[in-house]
């Protein structure tokens, strides 16, 4: 070993230590020569699931404004859930023809019902009708007319008037609003195109 090399190592080579350990001590105090970056190793295993919310809410839970049970499983509203819930509150029309049967309006997804009726029929109390909600039922006479409709006792009418038009093709419109334990109803009879009037006669009548 060159004397200068020996002198530079005197502080690192110690008695009682193995040669490899002494070499390690010496190398640790020599400036390191850094080479190029090696190739990328294989992808490691996936970690545990994070704390984010990745479960979409059910339509029923969105309508109730609640998370499912257990509450420690939060959910989020995705586009399909939003559409399902919003569909409950915008006007959609259910169209059906009935003959000698009982029709039950389901207010969960529809609030306008266009019903063509033949024979003797019954309009039952609506289902899924939240308090304060309003539905409309259009009643159309089928065939030659004279088809009858009976209403559930839960429907209570303005002045008690619940008659329908019996002529062929006649149209009536029932509007019902739930008020706690009953449905406040009004019915518009014999809906048709406007009847033209002689405006001069109307004006003369008003002047008199």
pLDDT in tens, 60-119: 888 788 877 666 678 888 888 888 877 776 778 999 999 999 999 999 889 999 999 999
pLDDT tens for each residue of 112-145: 999 999 999 999 999 999 999 999 999 999 999 9
Domains of the chain: 91-188 (2.60.120)
* pLDDT tens digit sequence for 137-196: 999 999 999 999 999 999 999 999 999 999 999 999 999 999 999 999 999 999 999 887
Q: What is the largest CA-CA distance in the chain?
A: 138
**Whole-number pLDDT of residue 24:** 72
Q: What is the pTM of this model?
A: 0.59
DSSP string, the chain: --HHHHHHHTTT--TTS-HHHHHHHHHHTS--------PPPPPPPP----S----BPPHHHHHHT-PPSSTTS--B--HHHHHHHHTTTS--EEEEEEESSEE--BTTT-SEEEEEEESEEEEPPPBS--TT-EEEEEEEE-TTS--EEEE-TTEEEGGG------STT-EEEEEEEEETTEEEEEEE-S--SPPP--HHHHHHHHH-
């Amino acid at each position: 070993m060159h004397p200068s090399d020996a002198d530079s190592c005197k502080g690192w080579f110690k008695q009682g230590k193995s040669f490899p350990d002494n070499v390690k001590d010496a190398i640790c105090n020599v400036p390191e020569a850094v080479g190029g970056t090696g190739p990328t190793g294989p992808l490691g295993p996936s970690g545990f699931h994070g704390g984010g919310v990745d479960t979409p809410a059910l339509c029923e839970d969105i309508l109730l404004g609640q998370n499912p049970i257990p509450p420690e499983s939060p959910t989020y509203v995705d586009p399909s859930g939003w559409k399902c819930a919003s569909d409950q509150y915008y006007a959609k029309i259910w169209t059906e023809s009935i003959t000698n049967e009982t029709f039950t309006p389901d207010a969960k997804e529809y609030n306008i019902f266009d019903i063509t009726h033949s024979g003797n029929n019954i309009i039952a109390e609506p289902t899924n009708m939240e308090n304060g909600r309003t539905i409309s039922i259009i009643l159309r006479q089928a065939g030659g007319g004279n088809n009858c409709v009976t209403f559930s006792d839960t429907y209570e009418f303005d002045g008690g008037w619940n008659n329908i038009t019996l002529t062929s093709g006649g149209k009536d419109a029932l509007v019902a609003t739930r008020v706690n334990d009953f449905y406040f109803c009004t019915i518009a009879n014999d809906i048709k195109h406007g009847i033209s009037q002689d405006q001069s006669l109307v004006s003369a009548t008003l002047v008199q």
